[in-house]
Structure 1
Amino acid sequence: MRTPAMPDHDGPRVLVVEDDDTLGRHLETGLRSNGYPSHWMRSGEGALAETARTPYDALLLDVGPSDMDGINIARTLRARLPDLLIIILTARTDDIDVIAGLDAGADDYLVKPFSLTVLLARLRAHLRRNTTTPAVPLQLGDLVVDTAARRCTLHGTDVPLRPKEFELLALLAHHAGQAVSRETLMADVWDENWFGSTKTLDVTMASLRRRLTEATHTASRPALLPRITTLRGHGYRLES
């Protein structure tokens, strides 16, 4: 039976991919009642087809749907839809499974069972635009971070960054030369009520560093990039 069409209003659209009927219906109902037009699907193949024909702001993705590997789904959709918020839903608690999901392109994860309240808080934090960063483009060496346009450029060429990678770089750039704690990064880029593991930050930071390095390799001429220094036991500093 097909899930009823999403309500016609302007809230962030959420696609739920979950093959457990009870959890799938609970998530769809809870999201709709809290202002998120949502659609629930049981299969990965169906999700790939649905995202090709309908724009979504967020994806709640069960890491183990019956027909496809959730990690492959996340990787495919990240390549196709770089601005899509992807939150992995998993019953697996091993670090390697969580890191695999984040490295495949997911922005966050929730370990089952979780409460609807926690899920909604994570969604709000991820979908909220950071209004505290300055609108004036920030230049660090040959790198320019334009928070108003949400663009990062090197010698005028766009550096492709996922949303959380950009927000992490923008926050560090705003505090260039200063130490920024892990707690501050998690609160400002993810959720002020964050608790638990911060491996999301580590994976996103590793990905950001990799993308900046790749950009220098493809630049038309030698480029000067600011270095992100790890401050063990504290956080990070973007060298000014």
Structure 2
Amino acid sequence: MGSAGRGLVLVVEDEAAIAELAALYLRRDGFGVEVEPDGAKALAAIRRLRPVAVVLDIGLSGMDGIEICRALRAAGDWTPVLFVTARDDELDRLLGLEIGADDYLTKPFSPRELAARVRTVLRRASGSPATTLACGGVRIDVPGRRAWAGEMEVTLTSTEFDLLAYLLRHPGQVLSRDQLLSAVWGYAAAAGTRTVDVHVAQLRAKLGDDSPIRTVRGIGYAADAG
């Protein structure tokens, strides 16, 4: 089926019943959907179809979801990726986030929640009103979704960018993990605030010594100029 008004989502899932249910709800939500059950063919499908987002099962036979996402990011393809897995394993989840996944759902999941998560990822990736934000040695071009640490441009995932933008919009303000999870990911703390910590760690690694992000023990994080 071709793309609909919201754009095309590629569902990479080898369990037919799950793929059909995900596709049904995404189409109801206004997306076009293509399904690819074969992990080894998924990369070619992503490059051919240029989807607005990829719903990617980790536990594929052959080339698994982690390998696919890693290959995409290594090639400079930052198409939003939402991982789905049957394994409720924090190591899987954290590895996925560390290599550039934008969100994560564990089976069994609500297909309505899947559609909502895809909308949230795309809303973050679509940009915001024209503005530039800066703090310390870091600055970002919000509509262009570009970031610099000192004079060097850094490549951020959609989620990393929005987390940094939210912190920079509230300079000096201590923001709890729950606040950040709600504002950036768009869902409640039941999803796990460890996700916030992983993305902050990734941001700090990419921004290096210019990172303005300060940890406030027992509460959360703040962006400080000095």
> TM-score higher than 0.5 here?
yes
Q: 1:68 to 1:130 in 2, by over 3 A?
A: closer
Question: Which of these residues, 37, 56, 61, is aligned with residue 66 of structure 1?
Answer: 61
Quick check: 1:75 aligned with 2:60?
no
- State the match for 1:166 in structure 2: 161
CA distance in structure 1 between the aligned counterparts of 2:51 and 2:159, rounded to whole angstroms: 17
Offset of residue 34 of structure 1 = 1.8
- State the match for 1:232 in structure 2: 217
- State the match for 2:97 in structure 1: 102
Offset of residue 22 of structure 1 = 1.1
Asked whether the equivalents of residues 58 and 86 of structure 1 are also in contact (C-alpha less than 8 Å), the reply is yes
**Within-5 A mapping of 1:88-237:** 88-129=83-124, 135-193=130-188, 195-213=190-208, 225-237=210-222
Asked whether the equivalents of residues 135 and 212 of structure 2 are also in contact (C-alpha less than 8 Å), the reply is no
Percentage of pairs with the same residue: 40
Secondary structure, aligned partner of 2:26: helix
Offset of residue 76 of structure 1 = 0.9
CA distance in structure 2 between the aligned counterparts of 1:132 and 1:32, rounded to whole angstroms: 23
CA distance in structure 2 between the aligned counterparts of 1:25 and 1:132, rounded to whole angstroms: 30
Q: 1:232 to 1:24 in 2, by over 3 A?
A: same
Asked whether the equivalents of residues 72 and 104 of structure 1 are also in contact (C-alpha less than 8 Å), the reply is no
CA distance in structure 1 between the aligned counterparts of 2:35 and 2:127, rounded to whole angstroms: 34
- State the match for 1:221 in structure 2: none
Amino acid at match of 1:171: Y
Question: Which of these residues, 52, 56, 59, is aligned with residue 51 of structure 2?
Answer: 56
Q: 1:135 to 1:145 in 2, by over 3 A?
A: same
CA distance in structure 2 between the aligned counterparts of 1:42 and 1:77, rounded to whole angstroms: 18
Q: 1:79 to 1:92 in 2, by over 3 A?
A: same
- Superposed CA RMSD in Å reads 2.2
Quick check: 1:6 aligned with 2:38?
no
Give aligned pairs, total: 225
CA distance in structure 1 between the aligned counterparts of 2:116 and 2:83, rounded to whole angstroms: 15
Offset of residue 226 of structure 1 = 4.5
Asked whether the equivalents of residues 226 and 239 of structure 1 are also in contact (C-alpha less than 8 Å), the reply is no
Q: 1:58 to 1:203 in 2, by over 3 A?
A: same
Offset of residue 53 of structure 1 = 1.4
Name stretches of at least 5 consecutive residues in structure 1 with no aligned partner.
Answer: 217-224
Offset of residue 88 of structure 1 = 0.9
CA distance in structure 1 between the aligned counterparts of 2:47 and 2:117, rounded to whole angstroms: 25
Asked whether the equivalents of residues 13 and 38 of structure 2 are also in contact (C-alpha less than 8 Å), the reply is yes
TM-score normalised to the size of structure 2? 0.90
CA displacement 1:117-175 (0-9 Å, x = unmatched): 11122112211148996633123233222213222123444221111111111111111
Offset of residue 104 of structure 1 = 2.1
Quick check: 1:41 aligned with 2:36?
yes
CA displacement 1:177-212 (0-9 Å, x = unmatched): 111111221111111456331222121111111111
When structure 1 is superposed on structure 2, of 14-23 and 123-132 the one drifting more is 123-132
Instruction: Give the structure with higher Rg (CA).
Output: 1
Amino acid at match of 1:239: D
Amino acid at match of 2:37: R
When structure 1 is superposed on structure 2, of 40-49 and 147-156 the one drifting more is 147-156
